[in-house]
Amino acid sequence: MSAAKLLSIALICLAAAILTGCGKLELKTAGQASDFIRDIARGGSVDDWTHEADAVASADNAWLYQGEIESLGKTLREKGPDWACNTADNADTASEVSGIYTKLSEEDRERILFEAELEGAARPQAESLISDILKLGKLRAFKAVSAVCGIG
């Protein structure tokens, strides 16, 4: 086989690999949605994933909330596993799902903020973290927190 023919075959293979997303992880099933949340929360790249058009609802939601998952994971990694992980776990555990919203009673919020302050957190930082947990939703938040903090 000539060098030109080998080069042509190699270029065709390379083009096919690029067009099919060579090496990308698929986001289509509920299990893959959990893997996606954990990966992104730990600092993985969204660019490593491809969202499939016929994905289940949990995969669609994980893709939709990728920015929030990434932000929460980054906060937990940067603040360390002390007050941030405890605050995130407490907020997620105490929160309740009401329709499409995740809510936290004022009593639980104040208790969690007080505990975070005892662990050395500034109140605005702890409030921001709680807000991120509630925006993300109970199941996605739990998966992100457990991936970074080793809780659950």
Please write the tens of the pLDDT for every residue from 8-17.
554 454 444 4
CA-nearest of 82, 64, 76, 52 to 142 is 76
Taking alpha carbons only, the member of 18, 65, 20 closest to residue 41 is 65
- Whole-model pTM? 0.73
pLDDT in tens, 32-87: 999 999 999 999 999 999 999 999 998 999 999 899 899 889 988 887 657 888 88
Domain chopping of the chain, boundaries? 33-149
The count of other CB atoms within 10 Å of the CB of residue 1 is: 6
Question: What gap in Å lies between CA 32 and CA 58, rounded to an integer?
Answer: 9
